[in-house]
Amino acid sequence: MQRRTVLRRSGAAVASTLSLPVVGTRSARATAGSSPRVGSGQDESGYEPLGRLEIEGAAEAVVGDDDVAYLATTTGFATVDVSEPAEPELLFLEDDIEVDGDPFLEILDVAVDGDRLVVPGPANRTSGRLFEGFCCYDVSDPAAPELVAEPYETGFHIHNCSLEDDVLYVVGNDPSDNVVVVYDVADGVERIGRWSLLEHEPGWADVDWIARYLHDVSVHDDVAYLAHWNPGTYLLDVSDPAEPEYISHVSETDLQSQRSVENDLEIRHGLPGNDHYATVDETGDLLAVGREAWATGGEEPDGPGGIDLYDVSNSEDPVSRGSIEPLAAADESYDAGLWTTAHNFELRNDRLYAAWYRGGVTIHDVSDPDDPERLAAWRDPHVAGFWTARVLEPGETFVASSTQAIPNAPTEGALYTFPIETGEQADPPSLTDPDAFDLDGVDRDDDGNESAADADDGDDGAEGNADDSIPGFTGTAAGFGLVSVAGGAAALEWVRRRRR
């Protein structure tokens, strides 16, 4: 499904192939700066970031060619020059997109491959007039992205996607099915294939559609890795992307156990299961599966999810190896906002670079996947809630994006740069001291004082307000959700205030 469009640009003035009009001023904030804990890597202060660029609404970040990072910004996207890691520089910001008069919101993911960038959304199922689909851009000049085809309307929300050699894989979910849909985006957009969990295993139709949600997809060397929440992570042969074929899967649950769970909160938020993100290293032999989870008051395990490792050198017979556990928190429930569960990450050269929301970022040596070893870690839970970690320069630096999209938390949208080296943060802030956090929505520093983000909050609802800190969401702040779930009202207010 495709439709003609007019996109309203309120970011940097850039010409596009469709001669789209440029509107006024940039409303989303993108400023270079340093927090008190941003320094120069491993020195007398311990392990810490190299640089930081504040970008409101930041979510997923990916690294393209020529030292450029691409960020989803909830209402658009940004490109950032990270060639000087200590001084990341904004190149382009598109923060207000409309398609045929409908807003394009909840953009939480981007995918880049060579000169092609794909911007999908909305991330969650909605009930209003929002554009559902994706836009393709030429980013051969990352400071001046050009729309290369009319925005493509899918008719379903897109939580995540993956782009490999001009073939785009997007997740598609609704109560009737959970599928990966494949498009050729080399010259225009053409839908060429799909694979359905329910066609492969019809019994999952008896389970809540959110519990079998296809949350993410990654692709490497003709194999797609589908993180299917509680059914598990599925490996597909996509050597012919028009005809994906099942290879194998790994799972911590089974269909019968899921049928017996009566508590919706437990089945959606609680372990076991919750396959949120899955990817392999550059060899394709080591698979990591991140499990996004919270405490629900159910049976053990009951708490935040970690990252499990699998040997997939024989893709038809995956073998479970070691695990990386999350940090404990004073309150591990979803609503408390003190999240330390695994989110997105990257495997590269025997190292795993991971984001743990307010639990910070870590580097682990996974050369022995049975016994991962932590090499470095940094967190600032009163300011940063990390969405992802991506290698910038192998052996030298990585980037990590911080998000505002955590309910009841004062975290800020930003892109950080970090050194790749062994080290420990000096005096990391506590995550388990309840006096450091007001779990009703106001955080405090290690001395019990209000954090800066909360102390600066004024009557206009600036960030730091527990509800208004969720940018552009029509569903839950993380994972997935519906318009009726937490976040929708705050999203509309955030967008209204930002546009004003």
State the Cα–Cα distance between residues 420 and 442, nearest whole angstrom: 33
| Low-confidence winner among 90-104, 307-321, 367-381, 451-465 (lowest mean pLDDT) | 451-465
Q: How far is CA 118 from the centre of its chain?
A: 15
Residue pair 278/290 in contact (Cβ under 8 Å)? The answer is yes
| SS3 of residue 358 by DSSP | coil
Main-chain dihedrals φ then ψ at residue 30, nearest 5 degrees: -140, 100
Residue pair 94/76 in contact (Cβ under 8 Å)? The answer is yes
Quick: pLDDT tens for 177-206.
Answer: 999 999 999 999 999 999 999 999 999 999
Main-chain dihedrals φ then ψ at residue 406, nearest 5 degrees: -120, 120
Inform me whether the pLDDT recorded for 491 exceeds 80.
no
**pTM, entire model:** 0.86
Largest CA distance in the chain: 58
Percentage of the residues of the chain whose pLDDT score is greater than 90: 72
State the Cα–Cα distance between residues 404 and 463, nearest whole angstrom: 8
pLDDT of residue 35: 45
- Count of alpha carbons within 13 Å of 421, Cβ hemisphere only? 16
Residue pair 132/158 in contact (Cβ under 8 Å)? The answer is yes
Return the HEC string of 178-206.
EEEEEEECCCCCEEEEEEEHHHHCHHHHH
| Low-confidence winner among 82-96, 330-344, 417-431, 482-496 (lowest mean pLDDT) | 482-496
User: How many CB atoms neighbour CB 323 within 10 A?
Assistant: 15
Two tokens, residue 178: 């959970």
Using alpha carbons, select from 282, 301, 285, 284 the residue that is nearest to residue 293: 301
Using alpha carbons, select from 343, 341, 369, 365 the residue that is nearest to residue 354: 343
Domain boundaries, the chain: 41-499
Quick: pLDDT tens for 446-458.
Answer: 554 545 444 443 3
Q: How far is CA 67 from the centre of its chain?
A: 20
Q: What is the mean pLDDT of the chain?
A: 84
pLDDT of residue 438: 78
Percentage of the residues of the chain whose pLDDT score is greater than 70: 79
Quick: pLDDT tens for 107-135.
Answer: 999 999 999 999 999 999 987 778 999 99
Burial of residue 18 (CB within 10 Å: 0-12, 13-18, 19+) is middle
Q: Which amino acid makes up residue 404?
A: Q
Using alpha carbons, select from 244, 303, 248, 237 the residue that is nearest to residue 270: 303
State the Cα–Cα distance between residues 380 and 387, nearest whole angstrom: 13
Residue pair 498/56 in contact (Cβ under 8 Å)? The answer is yes
Q: In CATH, what number does 41-499 get?
A: 2.130.10.10
